[in-house]
Amino acid sequence: MITSRYLLRHDGIRHAFFSRQGGVSEGVYASLNCGYGSGDDPAKVRANQEAAMALLDVGADNLATVHQCHSANVVSVEAPWRLEERPKADAMVTRRPGVVLGIMTADCGPVLFADQTAGVIGAAHAGWRGALDGILDSTSAAMEELGAKRENIVAALGPCIRQSSYEVGDDFKRAFVDVDTANAIYFKPAPRLGHAMFDLAGFIVGRLQRLGIQTVEDMAIDTYSEQNGFFSYRRATHRGENDYGRGLSVVMLEGH
């Protein structure tokens, strides 16, 4: 379990970026696979979520997740919903104590937000598509609708794929540069002609700072290279594996 020193400074807020260790799943899902979107045994996924929530001293029924779809959609959470009722979105916000906002990732960037003064938190799944399309923008705006102030929001970016592991084609780079030529700074030449290395973490942090969120911590962990610590979609693809586990990142306000 990994924590942000910035978020730890805020009383009344619990959070965690979980590694893949400490669960009951086996094979490509070993061991703390928390994603029902995988092909893992749902009973094992449930047991893994229960184990993760136990480390926060809350029950798994307090955990709210969404059907992630690489969008810029954010939902406000009043209470966790049933698994089959999860809305399609890639971020959540709440001001309800005891509700745990949970994001699943396996290379994409999990971003946790908190405004301690307003008592508002958020969690976002920021893959390249969602980050480019504005998932971070919509999350911070949704927090403001609940009473947060942009200058008081603290954000932490958890384990995700890093530039040294993220080779992309020229079409990928063009999608970013066509939106804003300044985005070229997030790419550097790759060994292969016609390819580049993309800095997803740098793009996420830069986007947050341009939104006016100045207190941002990047945990600087590469999901691709740290195979014993984290799940990675790209690593699984390169290995020809038929599936992969999902890591869990959570934030909650203390209370009931």
pLDDT of residue 131: 98
Query: Where do we find the tokens 């809350």?
Result: 58
pLDDT tier at 174, thresholds 50, 70, 90: very high
Mean pLDDT value across residues 132-146 = 98
pLDDT of residue 129: 98
pLDDT of residue 201: 98
Assess contact for 195 and 169: CB atoms under 8 A.
yes
Mean pLDDT of the chain: 97
Where is 15: in which H helix or E strand? strand 13-17
Can you read off the two tokens belonging to residue 207?
């986007």
Q: Could you give the CA distance from residue 236 to residue 151 in angstroms, rounded to a whole number?
A: 39
Mean pLDDT value across residues 177-191 = 97
pLDDT tier at 256, thresholds 50, 70, 90: low
Identify the CA nearest to 135 among candidates 177, 89, 77: 89
Q: What is the fold of 5-162+199-253?
A: CNF1/YfiH-like putative cysteine hydrolases (3.60.140)
Q: What are φ and ψ of residue 223, in 5° steps?
A: -65, -30
pLDDT of residue 66: 98
pLDDT of residue 255: 82
Domain extents in the chain: 5-162+199-253
Identify the CA nearest to 92 among candidates 231, 202, 230, 252: 252
pLDDT of residue 69: 97
3-state secondary structure of 202: helix
pLDDT tier at 161, thresholds 50, 70, 90: very high
pLDDT tier at 249, thresholds 50, 70, 90: very high
Percent of all residues in the chain with a pLDDT value above 90, rounded to a whole number: 98
pLDDT one-digit tens code per residue, 52-77: 999 999 999 999 999 999 999 999 99
pLDDT tops 90 at residue 102: yes
3-state secondary structure of 195: strand
pLDDT tops 80 at residue 150: yes
Q: What are φ and ψ of residue 9, in 5° steps?
A: -75, -10
DSSP 28: G
- pTM to 2 decimal places: 0.98
